Amino acid sequence: MHNETANIIIFDDRLEAENPGLLPVGLTIEDILKGVSKLRNRVIGRIFKELRLIEQWGSGVQRMLKECRSAGLADPQFEEIGSIVPSGLAMM
């Protein structure tokens, strides 16, 4: 996974985010929807937490679900396709 980038694509009715790479071994989409998280790089995770760039591990998807529901939007959809994990948010 060298020189690959995350992509954000904005459509009229939704936003899609694509992240290169598979989910970590043993982690499923059902797990991430429940707030389960596995760090790929603990050093980077610790630095981001100390710099307050993240509040805690595994909270991002739960926050996305909460904010979508509060705004009356559908839950984000996640899927793992080949070596990319795209997610989509409806913006209606």
Residue 51 in this model has a pLDDT that exceeds 90: yes
Among 3.30.565.60, 3.40.50.920, 3.40.1360.10, 3.40.50.1000, what is the CATH number of 7-90? 3.30.565.60
Q: Domain spans of the chain?
A: 7-90
Residue 24 in this model has a pLDDT that exceeds 70: yes
Q: How confident is the model at residue 87 (pLDDT cuts 50, 70, 90)?
A: low
The string over 39-49, giving b where at least 16 C-beta atoms fall within 10 Å of a residue's C-beta and e elsewhere, is: eeeeeeeeeee
Nearest to 4 by CA among 88, 80, 83: 83
Please check whether residue 28 is in contact with residue 38, taking contact to mean a CB–CB distance below 8 angstroms: no
State what percent of residues in the chain have pLDDT above 70.
Answer: 86
Q: SS3 breakdown of the chain: % helix, strand, coil, rounded to 5?
A: 25, 25, 50
* 56-82 pLDDT tens trace: 777 788 888 999 999 998 898 888 887
